[in-house]
Amino acid sequence: MTASGVHLFDRVSGVNVLLDEVSVPVEQYSRAPRYLSVALTNACELRCGYCYAPKHAAALDRERVLAWAVELDAAGCLGLGFGGGEPTAYRRFAQLCSDIARSTSMAVTFTTHGHRLTPELVDSLRGAVHFARLSVDGVGATYERLRGRPFAAVVRAAGLLDSLAPFGINAVINADTIGELDELAEFAERVGACELLLLPEQPTAATPGISDADGQHLIRWAGTAGTGVRLAISRTGLETALPTAEAIPGELPLDAHMHVDAMGVLRPHAYASTGLPVGGSIVDAVQTLKEMG
């Protein structure tokens, strides 16, 4: 419940309903963000040049994450999204997803490079995950150059995810991939994905981020592309030039989404340089971060 009204969400179908004619008293507003992304671990065996995940070893305690999930669920959070690093490299990842799905009503999602997925792991995640995201930066030889893994392997991973839950394709858009937008959309459609999430490359210590020219190209393409999959774009500034839907009218960024890194630091989003270490209660940390602005 928020200033926008009462938000109903079904994690299995993904249906959202906003009852915006209901006026919610301030004391009943949700104390949690609508969605929290969690970097379970910094570990990842790939070496993508544009990766923004810290490279020092760190991982969150499983019991701690489960306790946060229960607390967030009670405070009105609707979904947890696991990333990293690579979340499938996290010890007993499937057990954590299953514990959270059983103990809360939140959607459990994760983003993966796909190269650790096996039929056995997918079986153990069945029923415990409601949406998955597969990172595919470019197709064919471009993918293999950027990710250092065979493209055929990520095609197999897409097949495994398709048997698990609805899934989307995430694609970092930069000088290497800007020329393959049509191919990425065709790939997403062919493997049965329901969404293509475009992630304009963010600047890191090693990379400058997407160029202005490539950003403009992306905007033009998204405005005219007739794809068979839903298009989405990460919040990077470019979305203001695109005809994107406003998920909840009037919703403030910190009410929509926050991020916890693998050191247990709560941040406004994954690229934010500052944050707040979570002490005992994650909902208290959420409130403090909001007060800090």
Residues at the site binding ligand SF4, with contacts judged by CB under 6 A? 44, 46-48, 51, 53, 84-86, 113, 135
- Written in H, E and C, the secondary structure of 189-235 is HHCCCCEEEEEECCCCCCCCCCCHHHHHHHHHHHHHCCCCCEEEECC
Nearer to ligand SF4, 47 or 126 (CB): 47
Nearer to ligand SF4, 155 or 242 (CB): 155
Cα atoms in the 13 Å half-sphere on the side-chain side of 246: 8
Q: Where are the alpha helices (DSSP H) in the chain?
A: 62-74, 93-103, 119-125, 140-147, 151-162, 181-190, 212-224, 253-256, 282-292
Two structure tokens written together for 93: 């990842």
Nearest distance in Å: CB 270, ligand SF4: 11
How many of the other CB atoms lie within 10 Å of CB of 225? 13
Are 12 and 18 in contact by the 8 Å Cβ rule? The answer is no
Nearest distance in Å: CB 85, ligand SF4: 5
- Looking at residue 59, what DSSP letter applies? B
Nearest distance in Å: CB 67, ligand SF4: 25
Nearest distance in Å: CB 100, ligand SF4: 21
Nearer to ligand SF4, 46 or 70 (CB): 46
Nearer to ligand SF4, 2 or 135 (CB): 135
- Classified as helix, coil or strand, 18 is strand
Give the residues across from 79 on adjacent strands: 35, 107
Nearest distance in Å: CB 47, ligand SF4: 6
Nearer to ligand SF4, 50 or 187 (CB): 50
Nearest distance in Å: CB 194, ligand SF4: 21
Nearer to ligand SF4, 73 or 86 (CB): 86
